[in-house]
């Protein structure tokens, strides 16, 4: 990676760290405040610092593991107890970083949070050029087992490339064989998810859709679709977006109707909200890492 590109990633990383810390502070201090306000504030800070959200701010409480981002105020608020995960993405142009953390709102969750955080650090330390991605998964899995927790086996970290949040290679959260090698110059979002040992250790889809993405460059069906399609492509390229980011154009209800029609046509896809199969709480910590010849460089530290 050339010096200029690295500078951009470093800058995006700085913004992401500030946004994540801001979110953690808000979660601790403004219980009962809505998820909507939390996400709006986090995304606003990203823009103020010169970045763009690379995907909608995700909030996951307890068993809600990924892909929930509120549309509006009435969709719930920060609880007084439990686990609150927040996942933020920042991009400058097509350079993307992705980072997440979990705030324990009751003392019973302190240990799992600490264990998950330590597992992320262990995973990153073992990342270097030539190491197989499955080896990183084994490190994460062993770290969970050592403290009597388990990982979410069907979620993984992912390679990041320009304008692409989910690249070709992934970093599993369990040991796997026959996985590709990490190469110098590659960027990865490493994100172990932990749950309790009595949990299933797997996420399942719900029918809730909160995050969308343009998938095919295919001609929309009518004028309304064309208008929205053009705006999506211009504003978010093919990166994930929230329908609430389009409500300056038309009411949310209309945005959702058109998106649903475009989804049926295969123009956009949606990420269902994921929950732990047995309903047990889940934690998550995530960093974006550039793997250099000399070792890993955390971009979101």
Subset of residues 248 to 287 that bind Co ion, contact rule: CB under 5 A: 286
Of 102 and 225, the one with the shorter C-beta distance to Co ion is 102
Does residue 240 touch Co ion according to CB under 5 A? no
Does residue 52 touch Co ion according to CB under 5 A? no
Distance CA 83, CA 100 (A): 13
**Of 52, 87, 141, 276, which lies in the binding site for Co ion, with binding defined by CB under 5 A?**
87
Instruction: Give min distance, CB of 158 to Co ion, in A.
Output: 9
Does residue 157 touch Co ion according to CB under 5 A? no
Instruction: Give min distance, CB of 189 to Co ion, in A.
Output: 6
The three state secondary structure string of 166-225 is CCCCEECCCCCCCCCECCCCCEEEECCEEEECCCCCCEEEEEEEEEEEECCCCCCCCHHH
**Of 12, 100, 152, 209, which lies in the binding site for Co ion, with binding defined by CB under 5 A?**
100
Distance CA 280, CA 8 (A): 38
Element (H, E) at 25: helix 3-29
Number of residues that bind Co ion (CB under 5 A): 4
Instruction: Give min distance, CB of 100 to Co ion, in A.
Output: 5
Of 86 and 232, the one with the shorter C-beta distance to Co ion is 86
Of 15 and 100, the one with the shorter C-beta distance to Co ion is 100
Does residue 143 touch Co ion according to CB under 5 A? no
Window of 92-100, 215-223, 238-246, 247-255 that interacts with Co ion by CB under 5 A: 92-100
Does residue 138 touch Co ion according to CB under 5 A? no
- Residue 15 and residue 50 in contact, taking contact as beta carbons nearer than 8 Å: yes
Q: Are strands 157-160 and 170-171 parallel, antiparallel or unpaired?
A: antiparallel
- Helix, strand, coil % in the chain, rounded to nearest 5: 35, 30, 35
241 φψ region: left (φ > 0), alpha (ψ -120 to 50), beta (else): beta
Of 104 and 192, the one with the shorter C-beta distance to Co ion is 192
Does residue 18 touch Co ion according to CB under 5 A? no
Exposure string over 25-62, b if 16+ CB within 10 A, otherwise e = ebbeeeeeebbbebbebbbebbeebebbbbbbbbbbbb
Instruction: Give min distance, CB of 142 to Co ion, in A.
Output: 23
In the numeric block, the tokens 């490190």 are attached to: 139
Q: Are strands 203-214 and 157-160 parallel, antiparallel or unpaired?
A: unpaired
**Of 98, 141, 186, 276, which lies in the binding site for Co ion, with binding defined by CB under 5 A?**
98
Of 51 and 220, the one with the shorter C-beta distance to Co ion is 51
Instruction: Give min distance, CB of 54 to Co ion, in A.
Output: 9
Distance CA 266, CA 260 (A): 10
Does residue 20 touch Co ion according to CB under 5 A? no
Does residue 192 touch Co ion according to CB under 5 A? no
Of 66 and 258, the one with the shorter C-beta distance to Co ion is 66
Residues noted as catalytic: 87, 98, 158, 166, 191, 286
Instruction: Give min distance, CB of 123 to Co ion, in A.
Output: 14
- Residue 9 and residue 82 in contact, taking contact as beta carbons nearer than 8 Å: no
Phi, psi (5° rounding) for residue 89?
Answer: -125, 140
Contacts with Co ion by CB under 5 A lie at 87, 98, 100, 286
């Amino acid at each position: 990676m050339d010096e200029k590109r690295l500078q951009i990633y470093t800058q995006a990383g700085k913004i992401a760290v500030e946004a994540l810390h801001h979110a953690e502070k808000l979660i601790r201090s403004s219980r009962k405040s809505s998820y909507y306000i939390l996400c709006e504030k986090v995304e606003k800070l990203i823009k103020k610092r010169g970045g763009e959200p690379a995907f909608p701010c995700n909030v996951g409480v307890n068993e809600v593991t990924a892909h929930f981002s509120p549309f509006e105020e009435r969709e719930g608020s920060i609880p007084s107890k439990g686990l609150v995960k927040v996942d933020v993405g920042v991009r400058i142009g097509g350079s993307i970083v992705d980072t997440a953390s979990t705030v324990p709102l009751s003392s019973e969750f302190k240990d799992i949070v600490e264990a998950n955080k330590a597992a992320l650090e262990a995973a990153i330390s073992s990342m270097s050029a030539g190491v197989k991605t499955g080896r990183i998964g084994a490190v994460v899995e062993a770290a969970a087992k050592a403290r009597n927790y388990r990982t979410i086996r069907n979620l993984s970290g992912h390679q990041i490339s320009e304008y692409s949040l989910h690249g070709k290679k992934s970093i599993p959260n369990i040991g796997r064989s026959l996985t590709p090698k990490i190469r110098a110059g590659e960027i990865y979002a490493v994100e172990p998810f932990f749950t309790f040992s009595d949990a299933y250790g797997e996420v399942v889809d719900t029918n809730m859709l909160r995050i969308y993405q343009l998938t095919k460059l295919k001609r929309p069906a009518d004028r309304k679709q064309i208008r929205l399609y053009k705006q999506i492509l211009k504003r978010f390229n093919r990166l994930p977006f929230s329908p609430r980011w389009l409500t300056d154009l038309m009411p949310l209800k209309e945005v959702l109707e058109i998106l649903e029609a475009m989804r049926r046509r295969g123009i956009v896809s949606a990420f269902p909200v994921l929950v732990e199969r047995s309903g047990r709480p889940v934690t998550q910590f995530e960093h974006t890492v550039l793997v250099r010849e000399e070792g890993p460089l955390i971009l979101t530290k």
